[in-house]
Amino acid sequence: MTISRRSWIGAALAALGIAAVPAFAQQGPIKIGIGISQTGTLGGGGKAALLGLRMWVEDVNQKGGLLGRKVELIAYDDQSNPATTPGIYTKLLDVDKVDLLIAPYGTVPTAPIMPLVKQRDLLLMGNFSFQVNHTVKHDKWFNNAPWGDASSWTKGFLEVGQKAGAKSIAFIAADQEFAQNLANGAKAVAKQTGLKTVYEQNYPPSTVDFSSMIRAIRNAKPDMVFICSYPNDSVAIVRAINEIGVGPTVKLIGGGMVGLQFTPIMESLGSSLNGIVNYTSYAPGMKYPGIDEFLKRYHAKAVEAKVDPLGFYLPPFNYAIGQILEQAVTATKSLDSKTLAAYLHSHEFKTIVGPISWGPDGERAKPTVPMIQFRNLKDKDVAQFLQTGKQVIVYPPQFKQGSAIVPYDKARKAK
């Protein structure tokens, strides 16, 4: 469903309080357009991300807007379906006539519009995609995610596994842009480090039953299992792992499962997550300037909007997109894609998730992907995630809170 412009303006005005609206320049608002999942497999994350973005829009408008003009966010729901995004972004550009574009949340909805933005030579602010620019090679793409290429993502996982003596690895990956990018990269890294692949399987994104795959994995007796999946499949896979079991040889399982960072999913899976080692972008205990205050403000709004109440994964990074745009537009006094892109390529930006700068491919110059192990989780308890010791950071060293417990069967029961 679309989020109508009118209802957004109404909400924004109400939030600001009419009395506090400063005088905006007569030129009309600066329109920022985005298609972002509010339903479908990525919807849980998309809703939280959009709230983070809107918080930035409110904050910037309270300070007087950008270049003296009010900022207006036009958002449509892409339903996590890549078939909708070319139409949505064409509409944003030709019907709504937006000035700036932010990419959809996630690789799969973003992949279809990369040729479009390249051909129109427009700036696109990435939103947690993985290597989505590697074929098109657009020079005006800037991704906010903490990862770069596959080795930056898999480093933590493979290192922990190999330190525990792992020699073989199994891969399951969804047949979609994100999972394939990650799995291909991971397989290359695994080969380089001398790991033996004993099982690999791609599945169509609509697969709902994983019991056959988990059974096959158990049969293959791998030391590590690297999974690249989207939220719906991640949930089904976690349930299948708990239902069927992967066998006693598995030391480490997880790695690239999207969705296990969304609070509603963490809450509903509860104790079935115990022992899984997976990536994230932020976990309690990581210190960034301004993040604690942001999360507190976010929590209040999220509870009211009935959205992911903790907001660990996406909202801070979406707020950061806003901060980056704010700094770049203010410094260059321009909305032109070429000018902004040149500025973005040559500067580092301060955000609530730390300093951000990019390499020539538009991905992070200094990527670091935290790996956490879920431990000691109870069912149906949201508040437990605020404590440390539930998502124990096992990598990177600068944030490390503990060592991973191996093998997986032992970690599941650990306290």
Is residue 364 within 8 A of residue 133, CB to CB? The reply is no
Question: Distance between CA atoms of 357 and 345, rounded to whole angstroms?
Answer: 7
Upper half-sphere CA count for residue 123 (Cβ side, 13 Å): 25
Comparing CB distances to other proteins, the nearer of 209 and 381 is 209
Is residue 205 within the footprint of other proteins (CB under 8 A)?
A: yes
Is residue 132 within 8 A of residue 126, CB to CB? The reply is yes
Is residue 306 within the footprint of other proteins (CB under 8 A)?
A: no
CA distances from 370 to 146, 154, 243, 283 (A): 9, 10, 28, 8
Question: Distance between CA atoms of 56 and 48, rounded to whole angstroms?
Answer: 13
Is residue 216 within the footprint of other proteins (CB under 8 A)?
A: yes
Comparing CB distances to other proteins, the nearer of 58 and 177 is 177
Is residue 7 within the footprint of other proteins (CB under 8 A)?
A: no
Is residue 331 within the footprint of other proteins (CB under 8 A)?
A: no
Among 18, 94, 346, 360, the residue binding other proteins under the rule CB under 8 A is 94
**Where is 322: in which H helix or E strand?**
helix 315-332
Site for other proteins in 262-281 (CB under 8 A): 272
Comparing CB distances to other proteins, the nearer of 83 and 300 is 83
Q: Which stretch binds other proteins (CB under 8 A): 56-64, 112-120, 287-295, 361-369?
A: 112-120
Q: Which stretch binds other proteins (CB under 8 A): 98-106, 115-123, 297-305, 404-412?
A: 115-123
Q: Which residues contact 397 (CB under 8 A, 6 or more apart)?
A: none
Sketch the per residue contact string, 359 through 388, with other proteins: x for CB under 8 A, - otherwise: ------------------------------
Among 202, 332, 357, 376, the residue binding other proteins under the rule CB under 8 A is 202
Could you tell me the smallest distance in angstroms from the CB atom of residue 222 to other proteins? Answer: 11
Upper half-sphere CA count for residue 92 (Cβ side, 13 Å): 33
Residue with tokens 């950071």: 393
Site for other proteins in 29-68 (CB under 8 A): 39-41, 43
Is residue 135 within the footprint of other proteins (CB under 8 A)?
A: yes
Among 7, 27, 90, 192, the residue binding other proteins under the rule CB under 8 A is 90
Is residue 184 within the footprint of other proteins (CB under 8 A)?
A: no
Which residue type does 81 have? N
Could you tell me the smallest distance in angstroms from the CB atom of residue 236 to other proteins? Answer: 7
Closest CA to 3 of 37, 48, 40, 42: 37
DSSP 19-75: GGPPPPPTT-PEEEEEE--SSSTTHHHHHHHHHHHHHHHHHHHHTT-BTTB-EEEEE
Strands 371-374 and 391-395: antiparallel
Among 9, 244, 305, 342, the residue binding other proteins under the rule CB under 8 A is 244
Is residue 215 within the footprint of other proteins (CB under 8 A)?
A: yes
Among 243, 293, 304, 336, the residue binding other proteins under the rule CB under 8 A is 243
Please report which residue ranges of 221-290 form alpha helices under DSSP H: 231-244, 263-269
Could you tell me the smallest distance in angstroms from the CB atom of residue 325 to other proteins? Answer: 25
Among 14, 17, 206, 296, the residue binding other proteins under the rule CB under 8 A is 206
Q: Which stretch binds other proteins (CB under 8 A): 98-106, 111-119, 283-291, 315-323?
A: 111-119
Could you tell me the smallest distance in angstroms from the CB atom of residue 414 to other proteins? Answer: 21
**Where is 392: in which H helix or E strand?**
strand 391-395
Is residue 53 within 8 A of residue 319, CB to CB? The reply is yes
**Where is 390: in which H helix or E strand?**
none
Could you tell me the smallest distance in angstroms from the CB atom of residue 124 to other proteins? Answer: 14
Among 15, 136, 188, 342, the residue binding other proteins under the rule CB under 8 A is 136
Could you tell me the smallest distance in angstroms from the CB atom of residue 249 to other proteins? Answer: 14
Among 242, 332, 376, 401, the residue binding other proteins under the rule CB under 8 A is 242
* CA R_g for the chain: 21
Structural tokens at position 173: 């990956």
Q: Which stretch binds other proteins (CB under 8 A): 22-30, 66-74, 91-99, 397-405?
A: 91-99
Structural tokens at position 313: 């994964």
Question: Distance between CA atoms of 266 and 385, rounded to whole angstroms?
Answer: 9
Phi, psi of 223 (to 5 degrees): -80, -35
Binding residues for other proteins, rule: CB under 8 A, are 1-2, 39-41, 43, 79-84, 86-87, 90-91, 93-95, 111-116, 118-119, 135-136, 175-177, 180, 199, 201-209, 211-213, 215-216, 219-220, 232, 236, 239, 242-245, 272
